[in-house]
Amino acid sequence: MWVGGYTQVTPRFGHAASGASAGPTRGTITPVTGSDALPEDVAAWPVHVPSPAVVGQVELLLACIDGPARVTVDVPASVGDASAEAGHLVLTDEEGTPLAHLTVENVSPDPGGATARVAGPVGALRPFRAGPFRALRRRPDEVRDDLAGSAAVGVALGRPLTATEERDLADAAAGRGARLLVLPCVADTGPSGLPPEILVRAVRASLPRLATPAGAALLVPLPLVPGADTAAPPGAAEFVHAAGGTMLDQEAMPDPTGWTPIRSALDAGPGAVEEIVAADVAAVLRAWRPVRSQRGLTVFFTGLSGSGKSTLAQGLANALLERGRTVTLVDGDAARRLLSSGLGFGRADRDLNIRRIGWVASEVTRHGGVAVCAPIAPFAATRAEVRSMVEANGDFVLVHVATPLAVCEQRDRKGLYAKARAGVIPEFTGVSDPYEVPEDADLRIDTSTLPVDDAVDVILNHIERGGWLG
């Protein structure tokens, strides 16, 4: 079985040290067995953390190509300069572990000057471990062996199949006298928003129904990023050909728009998705996106200091706990004592503060809990970032606590407005720093005209009507 990691047999990258540019070939790569395969100079070479798409591309190239595997990687200009000087570039994973080594042949700065394009032959330094279901990955020659001479048609998938599509695909392959080679694209989350492990689990559930008279369907995850339509991403066809199959013709591929109804059905309430996809596929999708009463949710309060965010957030958190949901409260001032301690109130620090709160909220949401956040969060763009982080994992409700500045200032519970007016505290939101009023708030609440208990009821009702309480 393919474990996915290769390096040159040539001891300690002899070709690299000698400056020769002969890249790794299929004949000269062999599984890495230990860390002693790392070249000594590796620590001195410039490093870059490539996107999951690039890592996947390198992995696929090393598995498929019968010649030097060459890649092109976009890097920051400074890394481009360092690569040109060193003649080497090390690609690492997010944790900084070296993954692959590029013998730099060419560095071309981009016209803007911010990035550069580094090209050259690539070899693995360590086994590739990223991504789920590694045990299912195969080299093309292994797939060829598995096929044992039977004809195969390949279909690359970035989303699960509807029940109709399962039948159509099996019919199309059967009509061609072939087995199906089903290739979920798992390098990264694609346009469907489905995490790779959910995609593989959903497609695996379909497999028994994709068998043809020529044989069972084969499932081989490919380290590619799915495209927006069903056209196979670059690399899929090469893989299928190397495995001895052909790609299924475009007209037999699942409809590019087929994900939209599945996605809407997941939000349409219980039972809807089961009408479109098979029950076992539906079960996998439901684990990813449960019905709203079990789905993760972030309620994000934004508003000026003293507007009443914390009081409302606490009231809401208690009400949700009483109704049986698991709640994490992330108040602005509390976050600044631990999560964001040391950060100031300049734009960059405020943004970082909100991104940290957003990250916590999106994780809570991913695990099916409710995050109630209450920072000022004065900038629309940063709030939008948080929204999209959270919505990748569940739902997001934005509450603008729109108590007028004059009222917040008059309350001045912490005495901060007085200090801000006196110039003792600089960059104070509403006084000497901007607050961008949200245009995408689900609720707008003014605590100068609505008592706190009533305001909490308004928010709770919104959440109940939305289905998040069951």
Count of alpha carbons within 13 angstroms of residue 141, beta-carbon side = 10
Is 255 or 349 the residue whose CB approaches ligand ADX more closely? 349
Is 129 or 414 the residue whose CB approaches ligand ADX more closely? 414
Is 43 or 437 the residue whose CB approaches ligand ADX more closely? 437
> What does the block give as tokens for 247?
């790609």
Is 145 or 333 the residue whose CB approaches ligand ADX more closely? 333
The residue ranges that bind ligand ADX (CB under 6 A) are 305, 332-333, 336, 345, 350, 353-354, 375-378, 414, 416, 425, 427-429, 433
For the chain, give the secondary structure using H, E and C. Answer: CCCCCEEECCHHHHHHHCCCCCCCCHHHEEECCCHHHCCHHHHHCCEECCCHHHHHHHHHHHHHCCCCCEEEEEEEHHHHHHHHHHCEEEEECCCCCEEEEEECCEEEECCCCCEEEEEEEEEECCCCCCCCCHHHCCCHHHHHHHHCCCCEEEEEECCCCCHHHHHHHHHHHHHCCCEEEEEEECCCCCCCCCCHHHHHHHHHHHHHHHCECCECCEECCECCCCCCCCCCCCCHHHHHHHCCCEECCHHHCCCHHHHHHHHHHHHCCCCCHHHCCCHHHHHHHHHHCCCHHHCCEEEEEEECCCCCHHHHHHHHHHHHHHCCCCEEEEEHHHHHHCCCCCCCCCHHHHHHHHHHHHHHHHHHHHCCCEEEEECCCCCHHHHHHHHHHHHCCCEEEEEEECCCHHHHHHHCCCCHHHHHHCCCCCCCECCCECCCCCCCCCEEECCCCCCHHHHHHHHHHHHHHCCCCC
Is 428 or 468 the residue whose CB approaches ligand ADX more closely? 428
- CB-based contact 256:226 (threshold 8 Å): no
Is 272 or 343 the residue whose CB approaches ligand ADX more closely? 343
Is 146 or 427 the residue whose CB approaches ligand ADX more closely? 427
A 10 A CB-CB count for 341 gives 8
- Which residue number has the CB closest to ligand ADX? 332
- Distance between CA atoms of 201 and 194, rounded to whole angstroms? 11
Closest CB 306 distance from ligand ADX, rounded Å: 7
Closest CB 332 distance from ligand ADX, rounded Å: 3
> What does the block give as tokens for 64?
């498929």
Closest CB 27 distance from ligand ADX, rounded Å: 57
Closest CB 454 distance from ligand ADX, rounded Å: 23
The residue with tokens 């395969």 is: 37
Closest CB 455 distance from ligand ADX, rounded Å: 18
Closest CB 458 distance from ligand ADX, rounded Å: 22
Closest CB 302 distance from ligand ADX, rounded Å: 8
Closest CB 315 distance from ligand ADX, rounded Å: 17
Measured between alpha carbons, how far is residue 80 from residues 71, 201, 230, 340, 408 in Å? 14, 39, 35, 33, 51
Is 122 or 441 the residue whose CB approaches ligand ADX more closely? 441
Is 5 or 332 the residue whose CB approaches ligand ADX more closely? 332
Is 212 or 305 the residue whose CB approaches ligand ADX more closely? 305
Closest CB 317 distance from ligand ADX, rounded Å: 16
Closest CB 70 distance from ligand ADX, rounded Å: 46
Is 171 or 440 the residue whose CB approaches ligand ADX more closely? 440
Closest CB 436 distance from ligand ADX, rounded Å: 11
Strand 98-103 versus strand 88-92 pairing type: antiparallel
